[in-house]
Amino acid sequence: MNAHISTIGIVGARGHTGAELIRLIAAHPALALAFVSSRELDGQRVSEHSDAYAGELRYESLDPAAVAAKRADVVILALPNGKAAPYVEAIEQAAPDTLIVDLSADYRFDPAWYYGLPELTRGDWRGERHISNPGCYATAMELSIAPLKDLLAAPPVCFGVSGYSGAGTTPSDKNDPEKLRDNLMPYALTGHVHEKEASFRLGIPVEFMPHVAPHFRGLTVTTNLYLARPLKREDVLQRFHAAYDSEKLVSVTDEAPWVSRIAHRHHAEVGGFAVSADGKRVVVVATLDNLLKGAATQAMQNINRALGVDEYTTIPVPL
């Protein structure tokens, strides 16, 4: 690895994903945290909010022009959907060589941006300096469907449940522990942005029904796949092993994975592979930590590749 240290800044660092990014960056040998922008935490020390970071750096409230003026080598936009464009425009004008990684949905449908789901799109990267990081649910759905995509007879149907960290830090019913207690809350049952994203990226219609549960982190997606011709379970397994056995951050499991086992882990697990008696319906279960492989870890894979260092630098890889 080269000894060059790249500077990196985070916009929207107050959120749960921002905290995970700070942890990964603090341990990264080729990255130095240059700024962290948060309106709510302006002036406070980063080290007071992150046990992983030691240093004098303080949160700042930075508008797009101020972010661009920092001229960091890498800028991560960890903002709510619809907020990225002014920052992208300011950075493009002031420092066009900056690597921008957007964690929102704002550029996931933009062909000028590289869509960074490395296990499926690694071969598509053409040195783009603009990277759109996939959605957490969309990552799980795409990993579940891709190995059987060419055999489908109907749209995949995905039932999803996530922890309430996926609802962000702005108060709502979907991240209110009292309302979630002993509860499962369905929402956006058609037309969810991750449904559109998975459909767009896979090139097939995908149907998705999300729910939020009382746990904090981790999501599970159970996907029903109707096949045009019957398959034996070993054929299904063989396809998934062929797709992912060389991947350090996707683990193919025989049993259906449990969401409780994926919290704080950096990889996705895909398993179950229940096949109907006629061999024409397969049910696949995928789990991942929505803050890690669903957000911060995946962003770090993309940044590492764009910087030319090992893709898994600073990422704790499962044994």
| 92: CB partners within 8 A, 6+ apart | none
Among residues 136, 141, 206, 252, which one is catalytic?
136
What's the CA gap between 39 and 54, in Å, rounded? 21
| 124: CB partners within 8 A, 6+ apart | 114, 115
136 as an active site residue: the answer is yes
What's the CA gap between 9 and 260, in Å, rounded? 32
What's the CA gap between 26 and 270, in Å, rounded? 30
Q: Tell me the HSE value of 8 on the side-chain side, using a 13 A CA sphere.
A: 30
List, edge to edge, every strand of the sheet that includes 250-253: 185-186, 207-212, 157-162, 219-226, 281-288, 268-275, 250-253
What's the CA gap between 36 and 60, in Å, rounded? 6
What's the CA gap between 100 and 18, in Å, rounded? 15
Cβ count near 58 (within 10 Å): 16
Task: Tell me which residues are annotated as active site.
Answer: 136
